[in-house]
Amino acid sequence: MNLKARNENDATSALRIIPREQHVISRKNISKAALRVLYRLNEAGYAAYLVGGAVRDLLLGGHPKDFDVATNATPEDVKKLFRNCRLIGRRFRLAHVVYGSEIIEVATFRGTGEEGVANDGDRHVVDGRIVRDNVWGTIEEDAVRRDFRVNALYYDISDFSVRDYVGGVQDVQDRVLHLIGDPETRYREDPVRMLRAVRLAAKLNFRIDAAASAPFDDLGPLLADAAPARLFDESLKLFLAGHGLKSFRMLEQCGLLRFMFPATARALKRGDDALRSLIEQGLSSTDERVAEGKSVTPAFLFAVLLWGEVRDLAHAWMAKGVDSNEAWSRASMNVVAEQCQRVAIPRRFTFTMEEIWSLQPRFEQVQRKRVFRLMTHPRFRAAFDFLLLRAGESPAIRELGQWWDHAQKLPHETLAAALSGSAAVAEAPPQASASQAAAKPRKRRRRRKSKPDAS
Ligand code: ATP
Ligand code: MG
């Protein structure tokens, strides 16, 4: 079928075209790579639009980090036009055009498939869920299968106008997220849209329209069927993109947290204020780091989110007489195993999380040899930052944090001397009866510290 012809014939009465002089989108704020793709497609006779989050963010005056293009060219057509192009995806086939580190995603307009037909060629729906979506269609059809109205705006490279088929421009002005179509149907098609609602509301400071948030309670459990790998990606976008604290609060308020992080929701429900403060501080310092352009690690984030359950389980086992190391490692393993059924955290991150957790009890052992050994542990910094977040758990933990903070600032010899004798207490920061917290384990283990430490 000639897609171009189909495209031109389909006119929608709802279409509103906003000409260049009536909107703020300037080509200056569109990446060179995206412009090249748009122009090349257009010169070859195809329709070419910037679409989705980039148009939304440009209208809001933001600087999008990724640019998506929609076109009536098929992926194979696109491949012929660009040497630097690869075709990807099976569930949702599209073309990636690569310029250095920048990838422009070029998607062919999707059709909606015929009403009532569950398996129409390459559009596959199981129990209302879209599992494959490769039926080409018109721009109008492409607009209505997008999730939110604000995400269904098209910037036309041929005349620099914005095409709005569903009222997205008004929603951008009103700062509201409306789903396109019937919310329940749209969430059943793809439950991750519920998380996208929360994420975009947090990121953009938008409210979620009542009709779009109403089904969360009933349909939240559908998230259990979402692919864990996809939920991992989504959780990074929720928590590591600079608006983590807000995302977290909204997820909890909306009742969706428990479907993504059941252990976190359970621990918070036990009314653990110290845990809430640990999570909130962890997320807000992560947000600050993102704002400053510093690196952030998923391992630390997940260690923060799951700490409450790990700690409580470990303590419960120790109370039953299980050895401390064994209790911590069992607790970590159990919590990680449960979490990974929902959110597929890659092994390299769970490994680091387990290290951060297992180092926590070691901060209580402040004999000279152990102090220096812990300080040179590759995960010391992360584990120490984590200890500081735990300050609300008890005065002893707060003092322990202060003690280690102080200890790190001392010259090696001073610290070594202090740790060799009773000077340890004198060298501790004035308010740090840290020594109290620290002295306890010290006393317990003194016997084992028999010979001078060579480190
Ligand atoms: P971000 O600012 O995080 O990139 P975004 O809206 O651009 O937000 P993407 O995941 O990059 O999100 O998706 C690009 C566009 O694809 C969206 O704007 C939307 O039009 C469409 N889209 C993405 N995910 C879905 C979905 N689950 N259902 C329907 N449309 C979707
Ligand atoms: Mg995007």
Q: What is the DSSP string of 270-305?
A: TT-HHHHHHHHHHHHHHHHHHHTT----HHHHHHHH
Ligand 1 and 247: CB distance under 6 A? no
- Bridge partners of 17? 163
Give the whole-angstrom CA distance, residue 295 versus residue 289.
Answer: 7
Q: Rg of the Cα trace of the chain?
A: 27
Q: Once rounded to an integer, what is the mean pLDDT over residues 427-444?
A: 37
Give the confidence band of 451 by pLDDT, cuts at 50, 70, 90: very low
- Ligand 1 atom with least separation from CA of 237: 3
Residue 13: the pLDDT is 60
What is the three-state SS of 105-160? Answer: EEEECECCCCCCCCEECCEEEECCEEEEECCECCHHHHHHCCCEHHHCEEEECCCC
pTM of the entire structure?
Answer: 0.87
DSSP SS3 for 128? coil
Residue 271: the pLDDT is 78
**Residue-wise pLDDT tens digits, 288-339:** 999 999 999 999 999 999 999 999 999 999 999 999 999 999 999 999 999 9
The domain defined by 3-174 folds into Beta Polymerase; domain 2 (3.30.460)
Burial of 435 (0-12, 13-18, 19+ CB in 10 A): buried
**Residue-wise pLDDT tens digits, 168-215:** 999 999 999 999 999 999 999 999 999 999 999 999 999 999 999 999
**For residue 126, what is the enclosing H or E element?**
strand 123-126
Catalytic residue among 57, 68, 171, 209: 68
Q: Where are the domains of the chain?
A: 3-174
Give the confidence band of 270 by pLDDT, cuts at 50, 70, 90: confident
- Ligand 1 atom with least separation from CA of 64: 2
- Bridge partners of 417? none
When the pLDDT of each residue in the chain is averaged and rounded to a whole number, the result is 87
Cβ count near 5 (within 10 Å):
10
Residue ID of nearest Cα to ligand 1 atom 21:
146
Q: Which comes out higher in pLDDT, residue 13 or 320?
A: 320
Catalytic residue among 57, 77, 147, 164: 147
Q: How many residues does the structure list for the chain?
A: 455
* Closest CA relative to residue 175, chosen from 205, 145, 149: 205
User: Which residue shows structure tokens 């070691």?
Assistant: 362
Ligand 1 and 151: CB distance under 6 A? yes
Distance 53 CA to ligand 1 centre (A): 6
Distance 120 CA to ligand 2 centre (A): 28
Q: Where are the alpha helices (DSSP H) in 190-243?
A: 192-204, 210-213, 216-219, 228-239
Q: Once rounded to an integer, what is the mean pLDDT over residues 383-400?
A: 94
Residue 354 contacts by C-beta under 8 Å, 6 or more apart in sequence?
Answer: 329, 332, 333, 336
Give the confidence band of 436 by pLDDT, cuts at 50, 70, 90: very low
Tokens of 372: 């220096």
Residue 123: the pLDDT is 72
The mean-pLDDT minimum among 54-63, 114-123, 422-431 falls in 422-431
Residue 10: the pLDDT is 40
The mean-pLDDT minimum among 26-40, 109-123, 200-214, 264-278 falls in 109-123
**Residue-wise pLDDT tens digits, 102-142:** 999 999 999 876 543 444 457 777 777 777 777 899 999 99
Residue 90: the pLDDT is 84
Q: Is 66 among the catalytic positions?
A: yes
Residue 330: the pLDDT is 95
